Amino acid sequence: MTSRLPLFSVLDLAPVPAGSNPGAALRNTLDLAQHAERWGYHRYWLAEHHNMTGIASAATSVVIGFVAGGTKTIRVGSGGIMLPNHAPLLIAEQFGTLEALYPGRIDLGLGRAPGTDQTTARAMRRDLHASAEAFPDDVAELQRLFAAPVEGQRVRAVPGAGLNVPIYILGSSLFGAQLAAAMGLPFAFASHFAPDQLLAALRVYRSQFRPSATLAKPHAMVGVNVFAADTNEEARFLFTSLQQQFVNLRRGTPGQLPPPVEQIAANEFELAGVAHSLACSVVGDRETVRAGLESVIEQTDADELIVTAMIHDHAKRLRSFEIAAEVRDAMAASR
């Protein structure tokens, strides 16, 4: 067992449960963020997705402002902004504004995926190939826009210039690991839905990391689904909401987050595919969750775990994050 306990943070997709609406989902997001702050989570990230009726965080920077305005100390940011959907200057202005309003609390996590289907991506990007190919250059441009202005610089982010908003690279492949290492940036791996290359990406990131002005040594974040409840049976029941959501997504019929069920209406092939995608999940009571998280930490030596839970019932979602925080504290006490 590694002696170092990673930071614990929250990734929230602002789920819209079946029968609810985006307004209620966003109010639940703020409520969870306020609880997460009290429970000692390090940061609270929101994800950019589009044209999905089950996710309310499409206007990610707006939601970050809502959450930051309703909390006091927890870091708030994006996990992530899908940068090819946006001009770097616009993101620099948005996150510069957030940093100006909530100094020292704003993170900018960046990904290069569209965060949606190809048809919706074309509605936003127009040129999908060129947008994705420009990702490394766009990240570098953002860094320049957040740096102190230089003489003769004609385009500035106002607010943004000189604020040095922290940038994180998100990914689910070796590409993101290599880019984060080359630029000397923190790296977050999306293992909560794409675990296949997790360990390989971490090896690449750590072995190729080059210290930068902002980061002296690698900082690796690992995404984990944590469905915690007072019993293993209840936790497994709650987990069926996410499993159903993945089945529906693979069928091309995404929708609001389904309520949990005793038995998922899917064939063996579908269930095997979902189990593969959700392999980085810890589901159970306090003891089961502790053993699962210890295993993830041992395998990855992560600097930070970013925990997510797509649970249909808001009260049970809160309880899951509370149990995870209690497990974290017990782990810390035993080290």
225-234, pLDDT tens digit by residue? 999 999 999 9
The Cα–Cα gap between 10 and 41 comes to 7
**Domain residues for 105?**
7-333
| Model confidence band, residue 123 (pLDDT cutoffs 50, 70, 90) | low
Indicate whether 1 belongs to any domain: no
pLDDT at 13: 94
64 in any annotated domain: yes
Average pLDDT along the chain:
94
Give pLDDT tens digits for 287-296.
999 999 999 9
Cα 260 from Cα 263, distance rounded (Å): 9
pLDDT of residue 2: 67
Q: Report how far residue 269's alpha carbon sits from residue 221's, in angstroms, rounded to the nearest whole number.
A: 31
2: in domain: no
Residue 257 forms part of a structural domain: yes
Task: Quote the number of domains for the chain.
Answer: 1
- The Cα 127–Cα 262 span in angstroms is 44
Q: What is the CATH number of the domain that holds 263?
A: 3.20.20.30
